[in-house]
Amino acid sequence: MEELINLFRDFDGLKLLGGVALLIYGIKTMGDSLQTLAGDNMRRWLASLTGTPLRGVCAGALVTVIIQSSSATTVMLVSFVHVGLMNLSQAFSVIMGANIGTTITAQFMAFNIQKYSIIAAVVGVYLFTFGKNTRQKQTGAGLIGFALLFVGMDMMKEAMVFLRGHREFFTKYSSPLAGLIAGAVVTMCVQASAATVGLTMVMASEGLITIDFAIAIILGDNIGTTITAVLASIGGNRAGKQAAAAHVMFNVIGAMIMMIFLPYYARLITLTSSDIARQVANSHSLFNIMNTVIFLPFINPYTRLIQWLVPYAKDETEASEQETKYLDWHLLDVSPAAGVDAVRKEMVHLGGIALGMMKTCRTIVLERDWEIIPEVVATEGIINKMTDNIVKYATRVGQRVHDPDLSKLLNSCVNGVGDIERIGDHGENIAEMGSIMDERKLEFSDKAAAECKEMFDTVIEAVEKSIRALEAENPELAEEARTLEKKTDEMERELRARHIERLNSGKCRPEVGVVFIDLLSNLERVADHANNIALIVRDIQMVHNKQAVI
């Protein structure tokens, strides 16, 4: 007890905590600015995380370097698996890459470039204050965050100078197991693995701990960082829990293997550099690289093991297709770009429901199947409810988006959701016309029925192509949808004129004619909304081209 009292008598805890806080804030500021600078590229990278295992590893490393947090990347992956955007094997390959990507921050911190960080701070403040556009201001914010990394490291070093006279205390209690536990606990508490790594570097640089003990802390840090994924999986479905479990077991198994060979691993690390801070950073990087190399060939057996350990319950069912699928609220706190893409994917999902509704309307009118009219009315209510949920989610995403291009895409998507909601309204109108035809025993002539079928088929094709174009971000498909919309305009005018001729010649009953004209009008409006949806793809393409030029 007396040793402990003497140890902390002159301890400047406030300065240490301040250093840790600045370090964490600097990392977050860098990550936020890098995400904004990446703009729509970030959204596209997130959307293409699926692929071969090696591609997943590379994508995970790249995204994590941008976000500056493997925990944030893993939270996104848990969300993606939860909503069905990727399977467990794909997510696990990205998790391995995220573990590698997060070590880049440690490598930065190991450089002795404090004097250059001052220059970064000065340039950063100038750009952030006087920058003429968002990119300049965000570049400035990133440089400020970079400088804060080293300010935080310096503060931690100053707070620990007094401990140099108490090295025997650390020698006495620095067993590898204690280091492992300490690293895990600290990282779980601060939920920022880089802070634990930075603290370990400072302690090692001051000679307070040996490289063996430092490596044990880093191994514990890798275990502790999985807590964020575990927390994100709470309340999610079984697939999300499996992704979190895959992350936990991956890091735990790797740490246990390395603990067994710790003396040999420490000896290997000392060969990589003469600077102990660099050795700590290298141990962090090399561990995650080696762990990935070990697990990469066994992704499929490993994920099957996870699925066996965390199985689906017998009574666990998938969410209805007519409920929002992609609006995972965890994404809002880790990546605005992921949130924007979730809105786009949910719009595609909603569009598919509206498309199915229009096909049902065609069956009602052309096949006189009056019994399915309530189905259309119920679907319209579902579309309204989903639209409200998407708009609420998009509003929250918009509060976090700082990149003007992403903001523009988000606004386009919200407008597109409104267009789909209006398609649902027109579908309900058509169903009501079916009710009128049923009640009054109205029937189209063979000629009118053929014209009606032609109009229905063209409009449904336009809606289908606009939704597919949006899903694939395909400008050619979007242009085809717009061409079909122009065709429906011409058809509406021509068919209306023909039907008026039939009315004037007495070949058609007036009450049937009113229904037919209303039907044409509603279908033409549906095609207009399909055209608006296709225009969103043009907006996306314009942003892509702009990002490519930049």
Which CATH number characterizes residue 475's domain? 1.20.58.220
> Residue 507 phi/psi, 5° resolution?
-80, -10
Domain extent for 420: 335-549
Terminal-to-terminal C-alpha distance of the chain: 61
| Continuous H helices in 68-205 | 70-82, 88-101, 103-110, 114-130, 134-160, 167-173, 176-190, 193-205
Number of compact structural domains in the chain: 2
Is residue 198 very low, low, confident or very high in pLDDT (cuts 50, 70, 90)? confident
The average pLDDT across 371-389 equals 92
Are 302 and 357 part of one and the same domain?
A: no
Nearest to 419 by CA among 356, 327, 355: 355
What would the 3-class secondary structure string for 102-127 be? Answer: CHHHHHHHHCCCHHHHHHHHHHHHHH
* Alpha carbon distance 266, 279 (integer Å): 9
Question: Looking at residue 489, what DSSP letter applies?
Answer: H
Which of 262, 152, 158, 173 is closest to 211 using CA atoms?
A: 262
Strand, coil or helix: what is 319? coil
pLDDT number for residue 149:
77
Q: CA 442 to CA 159: how far, in whole Å?
A: 87
Q: What is the pLDDT of residues 51-75, one digit of tens each?
A: 677 888 888 888 888 777 777 778 7
What's the rounded Cα separation, in Å, for the pair 338 and 125? 28
Q: pTM of this prediction?
A: 0.74
For residues 392 and 541, state if they share a domain: yes
Structure confidence at residue 39 as a pLDDT band (50, 70, 90):
low
Contact indicator for 72, 334 with CB cutoff of 8 Å:
yes
Is residue 160 situated within a structural domain? yes
- Residue 207 located in a structural domain: yes
State yes or no: pLDDT of 124 exceeds 70. yes
What local confidence, expressed as pLDDT, does residue 319 receive? 46
Confirm whether 397 is domain-assigned: yes
Residue 40's pLDDT is 60
Q: Is there a single domain that holds both residue 541 and residue 488? A: yes
Residue 326 within a domain: no
* 340 shares a domain with 304: no
Domain end residue (candidates: 309, 344, 364): 309
Interatomic CA distance for residues 248 and 245, integer angstroms: 5
Indicate if 290 and 411 belong to the same structural domain.
no
For residue 2, tell me if it sits in a domain: no
| One domain, residues 492 and 424 | yes
Same domain, 199 and 73: yes
Closest CA to 544 of 14, 47, 24: 47
Please tell me whether residues 258 and 390 are part of one structural domain.
no
By CB neighbour count within 10 A (0-12 exposed, 13-18 middle, 19+ buried), where does 399 fall? Answer: exposed
191 is a domain residue:
yes
Is 23:196 a contact under the CB 8 Å cutoff? no
For residue 170, is pLDDT > 70?
no
On the 0-12 / 13-18 / 19+ scale of CB atoms within 10 A, 74 is buried
Residue 106: phi and psi, rounded to 5, are -65, -40
